[in-house]
Homo-oligomer: A and B are copies of this chain.
Amino acid sequence: MAKPLQAGMEHLGQMIFHLHTQGFEESIFQFVRYFLDIDNETILIYTGNKRPRIIHRRATVMQVHERLESDYVLGAYLLDPFYNLHVEQAPAGIYTLSQVAPDQFKRTEYFSTYYRRTTVVDEMVYVAYPSPHVSVHLSVGRDAASGQRFSKRELARARELEPVLRAISELHWANLHSNDNNDKTSEPDAFRERLESELGICLTPRQAQVALFILRGHSSVSISLRLKISEQTVKVFRKQLYRKCGISSQAELFSMMMPVLLKIVAQRTP
């Protein structure tokens, strides 16, 4: 199905991207699908710290997007490793799940209650920035039906499309701007405030920071490297915050914190 890139290039002249029109997203999808064997595609736009907006989506299997509006957009995205690219304003480019996922990502509750149920087995995301703090994520993936992860060859091919996709994405969405002058509180701070007002639990800044890392699937070692502290210290913070919350596992942390995260997000209309 997928042709060598050279062959595609010949056709590129005939592929017309109607910027600023309805059909643009669909033509992006058709363009990618011409070169890559993919089962599903999603275009998301993140603006400042607002909720993501779904711009376009296609999937051969229903499950892939089943919880996209209900769970992902409403708050689960905060734990998505790809969302982190937007937060950190990582360089534009193409990213695979294995590149961005923390070391213990597959043991998170986000993974088992959300990601696994999408049946997606592999995912690549094209990241572009039409303007500061506005990210366009073009996600393409494989699901359990085909079952195959992307090969190195496919990744290389996907990478070749990246400059073109980035250019036309940034052109098409250039009019989008983020007015993030309000809500300057950092994420751990907002998290702490909500946690205290909602559940009456008062974490220290460090404990809140560690909690968020844990929820996203970082191991103690991974957190220690990020925060430049010892692994032992991370374990202490983990213990302390678990004790304050009256829980004893990452899974319980998730079921306790998700409602709090949702409330942080709720006031941010996209």
Chain A residues packing against B (C-beta within 8 Å) = 106-107, 109, 112-113, 247-249, 251-252, 255
Contact = CB atoms under 8 A, between A and B. Distances in A.
Contacts of A106: 248
A113 B255 CA distance: 9
Nearest to A249: B107
Contacts of A249: 107, 112
- Report copies per complex: 2
A142 to B, nearest CB: 16
Contacts of A107: 248-249
A13 to B, nearest CB: 45
* Those 10 A-B pairs whose CB atoms lie nearest each other, nearest first: A251-B251, A112-B252, A106-B248, A107-B249, A112-B251, A107-B248, A112-B249, A112-B255, A109-B251, A113-B255
Contacts of A112: 247, 249, 251-252, 255
A98 B84 CA distance: 43
A107 B252 CA distance: 10
Contacts of A255: 112-113
Contacts of A113: 255
A149 B51 CA distance: 45
A76 to B, nearest CB: 16
Among A109, A113, A252, A255: residue with most chain B CB under 10 A: A252
11 contacts: A106-B248, A107-B248, A107-B249, A109-B251, A112-B247, A112-B249, A112-B251, A112-B252, A112-B255, A113-B255, A251-B251
